[in-house]
Structure 1
Amino acid sequence: MKNPKVSIIITCYNDPDIIKAVESAANQTYSSKEIIVIDDGSNDEIKDLIANLKENVDLIITQENKGQSKARNNAIKSSSGEFILNLDSDDYFESSFAEKAVKKLIENKDYKVITCKARRFDKNGTIDIFTPSGGRIDSFLFSNAALGSSMFRKIDWERVGGYEEELPILGFEDWDFYIKILKEAGSAFVLNEVLFNYQVRPGNTTSRIRNQRVTKFKLIVKNHPELYREHHVALVGHLFKRLKRAEEEKNRRENSFDYQLGNKILMPFRSLKRILWNKK
């Protein structure tokens, strides 16, 4: 029986690190694969760099800058593989990931997404090891439980209509996509190995969305209203838990020595301000 093909989709926007990403795709021990690079409106220097990678790339697609979701969807439309593996241009996989992920998808039809442990690193080296929780839809209600770069079946991508292109959910496209895949059935399986390397850089998507988590979660809920109505008890519990954490943090801050000292220092100035205001 012929091994199913894996289409490795690498999206790039003005990123010279794409060389490492393409190398990691080409070095996958799983032989039945194709590598597709989609250039999402990069400058001429990066376009030339991508062109020079053609020996290790089966297809290069160029488009105007339209964002990661549209880039991924366009590349997947042009793919011929049964399985899809997304990869951002500044990250890379260990060589055995595709082989091990395909094995799991073949073994168990219930698995819809295959992910793994990740080494987070920056220019100074390893930061930490991150382990996504995986699991069924319950695990994805309040946070993404799989890496953005994971493997899934193309038929599932087709079934749910691909990645969301219209909602302003920068950096949450993967989470939204996995919810669409898993909300009817299936689970995400986590390979118990560090097979992915995620680069943490100032200005990358994760850095830019860190302070927008509440807004983004609100958009996720609005995009899947029937799901969160079904799990309304869990949603209410989650929101009250967040409120409790915020209240505890506020109390810790107000009871801290620095806060109390600052209050004492500022008290005379506040009293003077009230006096002057009442005289007006």
Structure 2
Amino acid sequence: MMSVQVSIIVPCYNQAHFLKDSLQSVLDQTYSRWECIIVNDGSPDDTESIAQKWCALDSRFKYLKKENGGPSSARNAGIQISEGDFILPLDADDCISSVFLEKLVPQLLDDESLGVVSCYTKFFSKNVENTSFNLKPRGANWIYLLYVNQLVATSLYRKKCWEEVDGYDESMKKGFEDWEFWIAVTKRGWNYKIIQEFLFFYRKAKRSRQVDTITNHFETSREYICKKHKELYIQDFDNCMTVLFFELNEHRTSKMEIKNSLEYKIGKMITKPFKIISKLFFYPKV
């Protein structure tokens, strides 16, 4: 089993202060046949000096510096120079269990129909012992990925899958590029498998790219995915309409609840005089 090389790709942009924890979790792997490519995505912090220290510590760490292009660009750049048969993306602020590779690599070796293997996830804040939420994804193929991303970005997959879909979509700079990647891979017939163990630790930050995506770019990024893979959503048309109108109804209900809330009514009463004054002083002359 140790004959299979795994390439771990760690893009880093303004997360040098977390990089030590992430790389330590790589160094702690019980599965030893790996290389770890640290991709400096034009980061203005001290990513380079930290990365070089780890490269000096262990020859399996490698360093690549490039102009800023976003996570997709950074991952693609790292994978392009990788030597492994299997790929594992790992964000610079996240960590993996010491037995992550030991548990997941055999799954791909034993089942040629599998393109991707993932696991359960624990969300943490300051350290991996301080967890706040457990994620237990499910499913096995593209049908499970259409409306919910069941696979975290840090999932192990065959390099062949990346080659088949021409890598991550670098135009998706607002997020969900990993979701689109999994759909692109699985719609080609590859299955995925979830190991029912908590082997991945996701750092939950108040300010993060994912928070920004969900808050400001959720609809546009999801629309892009739907249009890019529209043949899948057409194939699942009835269910697609059910999901769409369910979400519309949820949005409408939530909006009505806000309008009917006491806080909203009080706020409306407080701001009413200001609106009247605004109209008196700023109403356009004719």
With the length of structure 1 as denominator, give the TM-score of the two structures: 0.88
Q: Which amino acid aligns with 2:123?
A: R
Cα deviation, residue 63, structure 1 = 0.6
What's the Cα RMSD here? Answer: 2.7
8 Å Cα contact 1:169-1:219 kept in structure 2: no
Whether contact under 8 Å (1:93, 1:196) holds in the other structure is yes
Q: Matched residue pairs, number?
A: 277
In structure 1, what is the equivalent of residue 121 of structure 2? 118
Which of 107, 126, 133 matches 2:138?
A: 133
Of the three residues 63, 67, 71, the one matched with 2:70 is 67
Residue of structure 1 aligned with 2:158, choices 141, 153, 160 = 153
1:91 maps to which residue? 94
- Cα distance 1:253–1:3, how it changes in 2: closer, same or farther (>3 A)? same
Task: Check 1:261–1:75 CA distance in 2 against 1; reply closer, same or farther (3 A cut).
Answer: closer
Question: Which deviates the most, 31-40 or 85-94?
Answer: 31-40
Does the residue aligned with 2:65 lie in a helix, a strand or coil?
Answer: strand
1:167-186 to structure 2, matched below 5 A, reads 167-186=171-190
5 Å-filtered alignment, 1:215-226, equals: 215-226=220-231
Partner of 2:198: 194
Deviation at 1:2, TM superposition (A): 6.1
Report the Cα distance in structure 1 between the residues aligned to 2:274 and 2:204, rounded to whole angstroms.
Answer: 44
Equivalents in 2 of 1:190, 1:160: separation in Å? 22
- CA distance in structure 2 between the partners assigned to 1:38 and 1:273 by the alignment: 52
Any stretches of 5+ residues in structure 1 without a counterpart?
none
- 1:232 deviates by 2.2
Query: Contact 1:6/1:81 (CA < 8 Å) preserved in 2?
Result: yes
* 2:256 counterpart of 1:251: yes
- Aligned-residue offset at 1:253: 3.1
Maintained 8 Å contact 2:2/2:31: no
Aligned twin of 1:207: 211
Could you say which residue in structure 2 is the equivalent of 1:37?
Answer: 38
AA partner of residue 111 (structure 1): L
Residue 90 of structure 1 aligns with an amino acid whose one-letter code is D
Deviation at 1:203, TM superposition (A): 2.5
Q: Aligned to 1:52, what secondary structure does the other structure show?
A: helix
Say whether 1:103 aligns with 2:111.
Answer: no
Q: Does the CA contact (< 8 Å) of 1:30 and 1:98 recur in 2?
A: yes
Q: Which residue of 2 aligns with 1:8?
A: 8
Unaligned runs of 5+ in 2: none
- Given that 1:5 and 1:33 are in contact with CA atoms closer than 8 Å, whether structure 2 keeps it comes out as yes
Residues 268 and 227 of structure 1: CA distance in aligned 2, closer, same or farther (over 3 Å): same
Tell me how far 1:112 sits from its aligned partner.
Answer: 1.6
Secondary structure of 2:90's counterpart equals strand
